[in-house]
Amino acid sequence: MSLEELTDPLAATSAEVSRRGFVTLGAGAAFFIGNAAAAQAQTDGFGKPHPPIVAEDDPAIIVSRPRLAPKAGSPIGSYAATPRTITRLTPGVVVIQHIWGVDTSIRDVVRRYAKAGFIAIAPALFDRLNAPSGDGATDYMPFVPFATKMTADGFVSSDVIAGHDWIQAQARDGSIGLTGFCMGGSIVLQSIIDSKGFAAASMFYGNVRPGSNAKEPAKPSDFDFTSRVTTPLLGSFGARDTSIKADDVVAMFARLTAPHAAKIYDEAGHGFFDDQRESYVPSAAADAWARTLAWFQKYLT
């Protein structure tokens, strides 16, 4: 992943509020709100390191750290959680890390999915590189070399599929989804181009122009890849995000023919879902979480 494709998760937010927040719906799209108010009520003390939303010892889930053996590259670690009781039909979600790695924020997301009834796993994409822990980190620059080398090594696709295969080993007939944040959101989109490996996907503020420089004006050809996406795709973005342009989000989702839905939040910038950091926006995070759960309920269950 090049430096041009990475952005400072804590600085890519404009103080100006765009008033063009909207929902984009396309062919076969479905949009759900869910109970965002209940989720937003659990935000006291968020926007900085805080106790988990779902604890590791929550009696409803089982936490593990499987060792994955991708088809390409050496084995990597991961962080996983499952509901206490699963069947062969239990759905699953592969969670793709942000620039900070599989940090406390991502681990909590994995547990939240398990609490909601999904088998969830986050492959540790930096594991071969001996990257530092992202827990509590606020400077993203130390992680840029690891993200760049991770992409140059060419193992990301295999690592993502290894997460998929681990879930399938737990519930052989369950449908599997894919989600990711920032860098991970970009990986989600790249992973579903020319692939039918996932039954649904949800990307959070990831690059919507893979293979082109998002800092330059978009050309129609930058979105030609959309004809190769067949996976139902949900998107969540911030109107104040200076790195993922709202116009690009609109253009990309408008070109999709697979079921899709996207929402751009007026009040949010980049990294709005990360409740461990200052970029957190509770209203947008709560709504996006409810929408994502509803999306996966629709396409995975």
Locate 103 and state its tokens. 């940090």
Query: Is 164 tagged catalytic?
Result: no
| Active-site entry in 108, 270, 274, 275 | 270
Number of H helices, E strands in the chain: 7, 9
Give the Å distances, CA to CA, from 42 to 30, 167, 226, 272.
Answer: 27, 29, 37, 15
Torsion of CA 222, 227, 229, 232, to 10 degrees: 110
Helix axes 156-170, 183-192, angle to 10 degrees: 80
Q: Is 173 annotated as catalytic? A: no
**Alpha-carbon span 198 to 110, nearest angstrom:** 17
Catalytic residue among 103, 241, 248, 287: 241
Which residue has 């937003």 as its token pair? 40
C-alpha distances in angstroms, 263 versus 198, 211, 259, 266? Answer: 21, 23, 14, 10
**Residue 44 · residue 272 · CB < 8 Å:** no
* Cα dihedral across residues 162, 177, 232, 250: positive or negative: negative
Burial class from Cβ neighbours inside 10 Å (0-12, 13-18, 19+) for residue 130 reads exposed
103, 108, 164, 182: the active-site residue: 182
Which residues lie across from 176 on neighbouring strands?
A: 92
Phi-psi region of 273 (alpha: psi -120 to 50; beta: other; left: phi over 0): alpha
Verify whether residue 127 is a known catalytic residue. Answer: no
Which residues are catalytically annotated?
A: 182, 241, 270
